[in-house]
């Protein structure tokens, strides 16, 4: 069976076991295909993370494809129907860790660029690729560092297409044109440790905090808007106690907000403290902001993506801001329009991760048409 260039490249990428933060040579492989097209590659290594900024052209506008070569661990390989780094095609599906998230998209980026440059050698503007090996991990030394470097030298992206697996039932049926923000809270409620038989000599922080946690869980933080669902609050960890006869002296509670543009990190922090203070708790509270929400409204990039999907597949696409965070949170604040468009997300991070083989060729055609609509 003769495989398309996109499938062959996807297999070559999957066969490199690039578990975060190891790139395992994936970026070099991609660059070996991009250099003959006129791309100039710049390796940016921060700590143990490899990043690639490859660009063809010196003028704007700049359309950048962004993605990651790193993958999550496979879990027990004995549980896979097909070896996770073999990249075999079975029953019309390409199996392997990263097939959907997101080496299939990386391959489609490259082959779309190859065809576009061959057919439009004198295209306007610039094409770029921003590739990291730190998206699935801490994300401290990947895209965020590359963006900081580009910003420091005044190098801007006008449009950025991220190859995250956005599709639900058919390739291209969903585009992510934004993401919710993610805010973590780390709460320690202080009590007085004591013997359970003498509760009057102690203060149980679990009992004291329970009404406040109930209030936080019941609070309506906002009602969402046209593009975002309402902000949600979820407790993710509760820990207290040292033994069955001991009233704990402290209660540890971790929680998370997934929030929309109707709130800010600061407004949520203020409201949480008001509720905790209203219940008379003695507490310490630390925060970690994983990313602010971002939104790319309807405009050139969204319209080009929708038109490309329609021209290749004949279907209309849904705009969505659902799901977790992505590296778009680092790129959108620069002023770039950002969308995420990739294969189906049904098997990402799972045992037997796979993608329909034909979908990668379809995705490559869609990417090429986006290039045509914006830069031809």
Cα–chain-centroid distance for residue 190? 36
Q: Which of 157, 150, 145, 151 is nearest to 45 (CA)?
A: 145
Q: Which of 1, 58, 70, 9 is nearest to 34 (CA)?
A: 9
φ/ψ (deg, to 5) at 136:
-80, -10
Residue among 23, 70, 250, 327 flagged as catalytic: 70
User: Which ranges in 166-204 belong to alpha helices (H)?
Assistant: none
284 part of the active site: no
Tell me if 307 sits within 8 A of 367, measured CB to CB: no
Looking at residue 71, the DSSP 8-state letter turns out to be B
| C-beta neighbour count of 135 within 10 angstroms | 26
Tell me the sheet residues that pair with 94: 89, 355
70 part of the active site: yes
Tell me if 174 sits within 8 A of 320, measured CB to CB: yes
Tell me the C-alpha to C-alpha distance, in Å, between residue 12 and each of 9, 131, 134: 5, 16, 20
φ/ψ (deg, to 5) at 229:
-75, 170
| C-beta neighbour count of 370 within 10 angstroms | 26
Tokens of 363: 């995705």
Residue among 23, 50, 114, 135 flagged as catalytic: 135
Using CA atoms, how far apart are residues 2 and 308, in angstroms rounded to an integer? 26
Q: Which residues are catalytic?
A: 70, 135
């Amino acid at each position: 069976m003769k495989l398309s260039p996109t499938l062959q490249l996807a297999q070559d990428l999957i066969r490199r076991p690039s578990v975060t933060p190891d790139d395992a040579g994936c970026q070099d492989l991609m660059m070996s295909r991009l250099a003959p097209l006129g791309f100039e590659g710049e390796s940016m290594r921060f700590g143990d993370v490899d990043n690639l900024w490859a660009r063809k052209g010196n003028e704007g506008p700049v359309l950048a494809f962004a993605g990651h070569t790193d993958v999550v661990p496979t879990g027990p390989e004995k549980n896979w129907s097909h070896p996770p780094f073999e990249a075999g095609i079975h029953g019309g599906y390409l199996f392997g860790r990263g097939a959907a998230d997101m080496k299939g998209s990386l391959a489609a980026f490259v082959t779309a660029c190859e065809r576009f440059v061959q057919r439009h050698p004198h295209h306007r503007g610039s094409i770029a690729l921003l590739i990291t090996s730190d998206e699935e991990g801490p994300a401290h030394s990947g895209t965020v560092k590359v963006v900081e470097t580009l910003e420091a030298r005044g190098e801007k992206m006008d449009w950025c297409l991220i190859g995250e697996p956005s599709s639900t039932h058919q390739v291209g049926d969903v585009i992510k044109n934004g993401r919710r923000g993610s805010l973590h809270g780390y709460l320690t409620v202080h009590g007085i440790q004591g013997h359970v038989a003498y509760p009057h000599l102690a203060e149980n922080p679990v009992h004291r905090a329970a009404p406040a946690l109930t209030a936080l869980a019941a609070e309506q933080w906002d009602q969402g808007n046209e593009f975002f669902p309402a902000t949600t609050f979820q407790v993710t960890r509760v820990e207290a106690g040292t033994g069955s006869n001991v009233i704990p002296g402290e209660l540890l509670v971790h929680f998370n907000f997934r929030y929309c543009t109707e709130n800010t990190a600061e407004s949520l922090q203020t409201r949480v403290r008001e509720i905790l203070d209203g219940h008379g708790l003695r507490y310490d509270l630390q925060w970690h902001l994983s990313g602010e929400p971002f939104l790319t409204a309807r405009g050139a990039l969204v319209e080009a993506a929708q038109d490309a999907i329609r021209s290749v597949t004949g279907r209309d696409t849904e705009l969505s801001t659902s799901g977790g965070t992505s590296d778009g949170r680092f790129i959108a604040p620069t002023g770039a329009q950002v969308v995420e468009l990739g294969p189906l997300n049904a098997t990402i991070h799972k045992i037997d991760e796979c993608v329909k083989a034909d979908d990668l060729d379809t995705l490559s055609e869609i990417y090429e048409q986006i290039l045509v609509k914006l830069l031809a």
